[in-house]
Amino acid sequence: SAKQAGGNRGVMYESALFDKAAQQFAIEADMRDALREGDQFVLLYQPLFRLGAGRSVLAGFEALLRWRHPVRGWLSPALFIPVAEESELILPLGEWVMEQALRQGRAFHAASPGAGLVMNVNVSALQLTQAGFCSGLAGVIEAEGLDAGQLCLEITESMLTGAGASTVLAEARELGVQVAIDDFGIGYSSLSYLRRLPVDVVKLDRSFLEDVGGGSSGEAFVVAVIALAHAAGKPVVFEGIETQDQKDIARRAGADMVQGFFFAPPLSANAALELVRSDRKLSELAEAITSD
Ligand code: C2E
Ligand code: MG
Ligand code: MG
Ligand code: MG
């Protein structure tokens, strides 16, 4: 009967819920161990490139967290960041990320001092609204020997709905730190608030690319959104570029920077450092040619 079927669904639902709760609990316990052990978390660095008339020039990196779980293997942040946020373990984890990313940013800077490479770091709402976030940040920046302007905090639209976050971001920008709004365009407040958002950079979500293609109005829409960001005085990063076509669209639409698998996936620290060095050589070569 229908009732019986419903009942079965109920049982399945409950057991799925139990599995989910059990899994979250297990992840949380393992995360506490991992934070103690110290070598299970790894940062990868995905390059951002500035589009220009000539070749795309390396502009910086986004630090992206991975967890090398001793039993489950590599885990994606989509799986464990929500658990870290719920359990507040994102606070120690986020501190580790910030320190590690800035230390690596310093190494990139040393390898190419003139390039002004920026390190983008994703920050959760809970971190931002923690008392002393900005003074802690100032301390890490100082300790790692970076210019504040070489750090860019990536936050999401939903974090701006509370008044608390905006105050903290204003404070961070006062330190000279940049702020980027991540995944822009998938929230609600976006367009009308763009001008007032306390951010320096807009990162367009890759979902915009799904609407583009085949000469539809999608591309015109992307052009308009980028123009709007520019009108608000904010440079635009187009995220998730996977093909030459998408790169061409980003360029035509006026995006200032690009990021995506077409250019490079998230890289190990060593691979990223190699990229910094080769980009520096290319820049020096271009300079030598133009000054001849
Ligand atoms: P996000 O900040 O929007 O990061 C961009 C995501 O898109 C990354 O996924 C990146 O690997 C992926 N990506 C890059 N290029 C392409 C592309 O061309 N195509 C497609 N389909 N995807 C691309 P990832 O590394 O799995 O991170 C997922 C999310 O987890 C991040 O989204 C961010 O919200 C969060 N996250 C990652 N690291 C941290 C962290 O250290 N702290 C916090 N709070 N969140 C983090
Ligand atoms: Mg991000
Ligand atoms: Mg993003
Ligand atoms: Mg995203």
The residue with greater pLDDT, 9 or 117, is 117
Dihedral angle at the C-alpha atoms of 199, 242, 90, 133, nearest 10 degrees? -20
Taking only the tens place, the pLDDT of each residue in 7-32 is: 455 455 566 666 888 888 889 999 99
> How close is the Cα of 64 to the center of ligand 2, in Å?
8
The residue with greater pLDDT, 175 or 208, is 175
The pLDDT assigned to 6 comes to 45
49, 122, 152, 258: residue to mutate for ligand 1 pocket, most atoms within 8 A of CB = 122
Taking only the tens place, the pLDDT of each residue in 217-263 is: 778 888 988 999 999 999 999 999 999 999 999 999 999 999 999 99
Mean pLDDT across the stretch 22-45?
A: 92
The pLDDT assigned to 136 comes to 96
Mean pLDDT across the stretch 106-130?
A: 96
pLDDT band at 3; cut points 50, 70, 90 = very low
Nearest residue (by CA) to ligand 1, atom 8, is: 64
Ligand closest to Cα of 47 equals: 1
Mean pLDDT across the stretch 62-75?
A: 95
Separation CA 15–CA 60 (nearest Å): 45
Separation CA 255–CA 223 (nearest Å): 9
> How close is the Cα of 242 to the center of ligand 3, in Å?
14
CB distance 184 to 159 below 8 Å: no
Nearest residue (by CA) to ligand 1, atom 13, is: 240
- For residue 156, give both structure tokens: 């999401």
Separation CA 67–CA 187 (nearest Å): 28
The residue with greater pLDDT, 200 or 187, is 200
Q: Which atom of ligand 1 is nearest to the CA of 44?
A: 25
Nearest residue (by CA) to ligand 1, atom 25, is: 64
pLDDT(99) > 90: yes
> How close is the Cα of 292 to the center of ligand 3, in Å?
41
Which residues form ligand 1's pocket by a CB distance below 6 Å? 46, 64-65, 76-78, 81, 97, 122-124, 154, 182-183, 206, 240-242, 260-261, 266
> How close is the Cα of 203 to the center of ligand 2, in Å?
8
pLDDT(211) > 70: no
64, 66, 179, 186: residue to mutate for ligand 1 pocket, most atoms within 8 A of CB = 64
Separation CA 180–CA 168 (nearest Å): 14
The pLDDT assigned to 202 comes to 95
The pLDDT assigned to 14 comes to 60
Predicted ipTM > 0.90: yes
> How close is the Cα of 15 to the center of ligand 2, in Å?
34
pLDDT(1) > 80: no
CB distance 129 to 168 below 8 Å: yes
The pLDDT assigned to 237 comes to 97
> How close is the Cα of 11 to the center of ligand 2, in Å?
38
The pLDDT assigned to 277 comes to 97
Mean pLDDT across the stretch 138-158?
A: 95
Ligand closest to Cα of 263 equals: 1
Taking only the tens place, the pLDDT of each residue in 255-284 is: 999 999 999 999 999 999 999 999 999 989
Residue of 48, 175, 65 whose CA lies nearest to 115? 48
Long-range contact set of residues 100-103: C-beta below 8 Å, sequence gap at least 24: 100/43, 100/63, 101/43, 101/63, 102/140, 102/141, 102/144, 102/146, 102/151, 103/144
pLDDT(155) > 60: yes
Mean pLDDT across the stretch 132-151?
A: 96
Separation CA 259–CA 240 (nearest Å): 6
* 68: β partners: 74
Nearest residue (by CA) to ligand 1, atom 15, is: 260
Quick count: other Cβ atoms within 10 Å of Cβ 161? 13
The residue with greater pLDDT, 29 or 54, is 29
> How close is the Cα of 64 to the center of ligand 1, in Å?
6
